[in-house]
Structure 1
């Protein structure tokens, strides 16, 4: 954390993140950082970058991917959007635009600028959901050297602090059909862990 950011209050740091324009010149729809967090957050969700619908609404995972993720976690929309329960910090905070085969990757400028300062201000995280290849590359030791499937298959080596996950996008339906063990074995463990952490948070 730079000395300047270290001296900021949590609220001022988040305000600066939400006002960030470092990628403005290359974002086709302009900057709109979409994040959710409080210092009470118990679970951290790390995705890739907002899609167009999320950019338009300003609500993270407000799409079919979010519906599936909430189903995997076993929680309601109300709980999901309660920042005292969940922090949501994608690898890129703004919608990067459309590529030839889906959305473009998260902008490379975002994580080095903001990720470490924000993560250091989240002291109560008990579980981090690491979703997709770009999140794996940042958050997992040697995550960039292995495929998403390999990282997810080795989930127990990170558990219970971290869980590597495939992206819940409908584009991943084929992956889920080819890897039924994920929903059969991993999802029940995830739901139990999420329920326990949120119950602990409610007792505080």
Structure 2
């Protein structure tokens, strides 16, 4: 079986996964995109309710802001042959006191390494939010702000980002260096991967 067919089979297994069903208030609906030719990998947190309903990752205001940060259009963003989207939790985890609950930990343990082994051409991994950063960059006492501010010190294959949620608008206002320094660097790296 070719690597591409193995990945198709693996994605089918993931999309049929109900491992966490008892913990998911809206039931399982794993949202993941990957291909053997993907060159950019986006590792976010977990789908929100809108993404859960549509099955389309980043199909919300957070996705609009993320696409703006990347300076790529809708068609490129959703081209699975170019961009893989593998969140920490594949299903909507439910609502907590101050927003959505953390991603279920089982997804990353069960599936991430299996998916990543089928994507040898990935040049850049965006690790969005604390959970993704802890898994891919190692647990740290550094705050998310410190990790993002020190992005130049991270393995160049990775780029730590805050979540692009509208809830983080205040963070963006308080940290103007992010849009002044990190976003242009992110756009340059994406442009180098996907030149016109």
Q: TM-score range by the shorter chain?
A: over 0.9
2:104 to 107, 121, 126: 107
Q: Does 1:183 align with 2:150?
A: no
The answer as to 2:84 corresponding to 1:71 is no
**CA separation in 1, counterparts of 2:94 and 2:137?**
26
Q: How far has the Cα of 1:141 moved from its partner?
A: 2.9
Cα distance between partner residues in 2 of 1:163 and 1:183: 14
Structure 1 unaligned blocks of 5 or more: 1-5
**Aligned residue for 1:29?**
26
Structure 1 stretches of at least 4 aligned residues deviating more than 2 Å after TM superposition: none
1:82 aligns with 2:87: no
Query: What is the deviation of 1:159?
Result: 5.3
| TM-score, length-scaled by structure 1 | 0.91
CA 159–189 in structure 1, closer or farther in 2 if over 3 Å, else same:
farther
Q: How many residues are matched?
A: 193
1:160 deviates by: 3.0
Q: Distance in 2 between matches of 1:97 and 1:122?
A: 30
Aligned partner of 1:124 in structure 2 is 121
TM-score, length of structure 2 as denominator length: 0.95
Q: How is 1:1-204 mapped onto 2 (pairs within 5 angstroms)?
A: 9-142=6-139, 144-158=140-154, 160-199=156-195
Query: Deviations along 1:64-103, whole A, 9 cap, x unmatched?
Result: 0000000000000110000111100000000011111100
For 1:30 and 1:139, how far apart are their aligned partners in 2? Answer: 27
Give 3-state SS (helix, strand or coil) of 1:145's partner: coil
1:141-180: per-residue Cα shift (whole Å, max 9, x none)? 33x4221001101100125311000000010011101110
Q: Structure 2 CA distance, aligned partners of 1:146 and 1:89? A: 24
In structure 2, runs of 5+ residues without a counterpart are none
CA distance in 2, matches of 1:51, 1:161: 27
